[in-house]
Chain A
Amino acid sequence: MYPFWELPFFTSGIVIALIATFHILPCHLATGAFWFNVYIERKSVKEGRPELMEFIKRYSLMILVFCFVIGSLTGVGIWFAATVASPRAISGLIHNYVWGWATEWVFFLIEIAAIYVYYYTLGRIDSKSHLMLGWLYAWAAWISMVIITGILAFMLSPGKWVETGGFFDGFFNETYWPQLFTRTALMFGIAGVYAVIVASTLEDRKVRDEIVRKAAVWGIAGMAAGALFSVWYLFRIPAPARELGLEGGLPYLRTMLKAAGASYLVVLLWFVLCGLIKPQWSGRATGIVILCILFLGIGAGEGFREGIRRPYIIAQYMYGNQIIGTDLAAKGIKSEVEKYDSQGFLKNLYFRPDKTDLENPGDRLLAGRVIALHQCGNCHALDIHAKMRPLPALLANLSPESPDDIAGFLEALGDYPYMPPFSGNDEDKAAAAEYLFWIVRR
């Protein structure tokens, strides 16, 4: 195991969740916006309406300054956050999908070239060639989504990969197509929101209302189609995930799904009311409020998608605590649970204090803390006042009267459908239980 990074009160996972949610908005905008951009530009060229180009200029600059910059930085940010929070998980993904990410990177190169040249050659090259730059960006950006969706879907439903270890067997899995369709539809919804906000800054009233209406139509179509594809997605998620997320295994997940649905509905209604019926009601202020609602909805939706993967971080392969829980013969991988159960977990750690002799009662608390950090710390904070799944508070609900009670709980961890089993021998378990009992009583 790598050294452990502990974020007091919140856990390191919250950093990934926050950056990922921030990433979804700009990156879906980056993938979706140019289809609308090209649509308006094409209209401007075909119908000889240069007044529409004012919108193109503003929309492109906004895409460049906000979504491309923030999208690319938060994209790298997710990587860094995953690196420091779950290094073995990101390593597992990279070692299976390095060529997928490298392929996506080629499309990033095309995107960055296309968007800068598109923006800086507005009115500098002939309109047909300029339009082609727009198409180039739109396709390249969307293809980057086609690629990353395969890796995201793999984390929940690795498909035949668990048997073959093959790149494409894991990539084109049960949830790939519905997730791709959902994200594709949603990107038009997000692009619509931004387009309404930008269009509402135009001085020309007629142009403004026209673009707001068109953006609303795109947004409504995207949100409606996204809702349908989301249902398809929910039908395709694996049975254990369905039990956790939809059938009450973890009730908060259903709440998150409802929150995502509610935000969806609010955005849809806003499109109808302030886009189609009364475009003059649209404006920057309401647009930004809607954007915040969308942000919360995306956070809830992505939180649901992440939550139903439990107890795994890579389904059927690696548990949330970064311990490999399955044999994968095709790649010569052995489950680590058996190894830790027989050899001991602590003994296999390189980064451990010297004073962790489990025979010595004085060292057991320190040893227990190290074990608990690695086994529980990815999802649970070890401080009783923590905000994210505080382990002492959760254990206190069990009213343990001795470390043995907690050891018994640890023994039965694997029976909970959303918890990884405790991986370690009896000495590890006893030390962890002793430490956990101490923090409950502290």
Chain B
Amino acid sequence: MDLSLFLNNMRDPAGVPFYPFLFQVLMVLTFAMHITMVNLVVGSTFVALLEAARKTDHSLKLAKALGRVITVSLSIAIVLGVAPLLFVQVIYDPFWYTANTMSAFYALMFLVLVTGGFYAAYGFYLGNRNSDASSFSSGWAWLALIFMLLAAVIIHMLSMEQLMPAQWKSWVITPEGSYLTDGGQFHGFSPGRFLHFILSSFAVTGVFMMLYTVYFRKRTDYDPAYLDYVARRGAGIAFAFSVVAAAAGFWWAGEIPAELGFLKNPFFVAGAVGGIALVAYLGMAHLNPEKYAAKAATAMFIVIFTMCAAREGLRMDYAAAAGYSIFDYKVNVDWPSTLLFLATFVMGLCVLCFPAMAAFRAGRAPAGEVVTIDEVHGRRAVTMLIIWFAVVAGLGIVISIKNGTLF
């Protein structure tokens, strides 16, 4: 059996319930959101450690603030990561499952490391809430950083293994003929690609710090000097690390086999041009961080999204070289479930407006002040969920009666 036949035989026989293009778009979009949050987690941990080491009043306050950012953004990153994890299994199932079973030990270790990183981050945040320069401790943050970097190495490796299907067999079957079933395969580390991700994390955190300054500038109980400090540090970190991240990106591009022709991929070209433009823009933003913060953040997300699309283009190139295309997947269109998701997605965005508004307004009020929000927004959000349930339950009862599965 040749590789192409294996890959195509291993597609799930049920096919996909909608055209693969939609899963691909959703995968890239949700991955871009996920990786932005992951960047914020890793970058915030690193910057918190840097700030803690400076031991000034401003730097310690910033380190504490970033401690909270790490825990919240890690939660969000995990939840956002569920979607691309789901969609990759829909259209790239032979690649995903092969890499994971070959490296099962590491796939499971990834979970242990993320859990450890999470609680270490909480240890850092909760342990330093009331500490001062003499009692501030960075131990938990170091532990969190180590756990997260190891988790990043594993997930990077799992991604890389998926791009090398031609070598899979030689990893599992030894030259002596043994069949390795210990799940201990670890292959395909790409320094350029890994560094590009890690260094981008600091740049993302730098831009986040610029936004932080804009947001809290309205707070009368925040020391303007502290906010000036955060803005300056954020802009400096964003600019410096976007330069080195871009350099690592070119290193990564150099690691990709020339025969794939990836350097001509329009998404890569757009990502590379956008990345360089972003570096230039961040250089300018350095002069007045708060003025440029929102635009820099928007531009950064566009560049991240474009790079995620380029990353997907690269995967398609690798898959095509092995004789696999997602567009050859058998399609069994299931309109009811597709509409269920799309309608729920739109509803979800509407519902999310309420907690987002509550958080935004509460965060801008000085400590001790109670913000009044029109209760009707919350009532509408809850009502939408109740209606959702009523519609689905009603549908379920009708279908159950029709199919004789109710009683």
With A94-B89, A95-B14 as known contacts, state yes or no: A102 contacts B341, CB within 8 Å.
Answer: yes
Contact partner of B110 (CB less than 8 A), chosen from A80, A109, A167, A171, is: A80
Contact partner of B373 (CB less than 8 A), chosen from A73, A129, A136, A350, is: A129
Q: Does B25 contact A (CB under 8 A)?
A: no
- Nearest Cβ on chain A to B225's Cβ, whole angstroms: 25
Q: Does B54 contact A (CB under 8 A)?
A: no
Contact partner of B355 (CB less than 8 A), chosen from A79, A88, A136, A369, is: A136
- CA–CA, A131 to B210, complex, Å? 33
Residues of B within 8 A of A143 (CB): 385, 388-389
Instruction: Choose, from A3-11, A191-199, A214-222, A264-272, the stretch at the interface.
Output: A3-11
- CA–CA, A149 to B177, complex, Å? 44
Asked if residues A98 and B399 are in contact (CB atoms below 8 Å), the reply is no
- Nearest Cβ on chain A to B115's Cβ, whole angstroms: 5
- CA–CA, A354 to B405, complex, Å? 50
Interface size class of A (residues with CB under 8 A): 35 or more
Contact partner of A72 (CB less than 8 A), chosen from B75, B87, B169, B379, is: B75
Asked if residues A106 and B96 are in contact (CB atoms below 8 Å), the reply is no
Instruction: Choose, from A113-121, A200-208, A273-281, A297-305, the stretch at the interface.
Output: A113-121
Contact partner of A76 (CB less than 8 A), chosen from B72, B82, B371, is: B82
- CA–CA, A366 to B403, complex, Å? 48
**A61-91 vs B: 1/0 string, CB under 8 Å?**
0000100111011011101110111011011
Instruction: Choose, from A46-54, A172-180, A242-250, A415-423, the stretch at the interface.
Output: A172-180
- CA–CA, A333 to B14, complex, Å? 7
Residues of B within 8 A of A70 (CB): 115
Most chain B CB within 10 A, of A101, A123, A146, is at A101
Contact partner of B372 (CB less than 8 A), chosen from A75, A117, A125, is: A125
- CA–CA, A160 to B405, complex, Å? 9
- Nearest Cβ on chain A to B240's Cβ, whole angstroms: 31
With A129-B375, A167-B17, A353-B177 as known contacts, state yes or no: A83 contacts B399, CB within 8 Å.
Answer: no
- CA–CA, A108 to B100, complex, Å? 25
Residues of A within 8 A of B17 (CB): 95-96, 98-99, 167
- Nearest Cβ on chain A to B21's Cβ, whole angstroms: 14
Q: Does B311 contact A (CB under 8 A)?
A: no
- Nearest Cβ on chain A to B329's Cβ, whole angstroms: 9
Q: Does B358 contact A (CB under 8 A)?
A: yes
Q: Does B365 contact A (CB under 8 A)?
A: yes
Instruction: Choose, from B57-65, B295-303, B344-352, the stretch at the interface.
Output: B344-352
Asked if residues A353 and B399 are in contact (CB atoms below 8 Å), the reply is no
Q: Does A438 contact B (CB under 8 A)?
A: no
- CA–CA, A289 to B5, complex, Å? 54
- CA–CA, A200 to B76, complex, Å? 31
19 additional contacts (CB under 8 A) given A2-B10, A91-B12, A168-B396: A6-B183, A12-B104, A77-B111, A83-B89, A87-B101, A91-B97, A98-B16, A98-B90, A102-B341, A102-B345, A113-B359, A117-B359, A124-B362, A131-B378, A328-B14, A331-B15, A350-B6, A351-B169, A366-B177
Residue numbers of A with Cβ under 8 A of B are 2-6, 12, 15, 65, 68-70, 72-73, 75-77, 79-81, 83-85, 87-88, 90-92, 94-103, 105-114, 116-118, 120-121, 123-126, 128-129, 131-133, 135-136, 139-140, 143, 146, 159-160, 165-169, 171-174, 176-177, 324, 328, 330-334, 348-355, 366, 369-370, 373
Residue numbers of B with Cβ under 8 A of A are 1, 3, 5-6, 10, 12-18, 23, 26, 72, 75-76, 78-83, 85-87, 89-90, 93, 96-98, 100-102, 104, 107-108, 110-111, 114-115, 118-119, 122, 168-169, 172-173, 177-179, 181-183, 330, 332, 334, 336-338, 340-341, 344-345, 347-348, 351-352, 354-356, 358-359, 361-362, 365, 369-375, 377-379, 381-382, 385-386, 388-389, 392-393, 395-396, 399-400, 403, 405-406
CB<8 Å pairs between A and B, sample of 6 = A2-B98, A69-B75, A70-B115, A80-B111, A84-B101, A353-B173
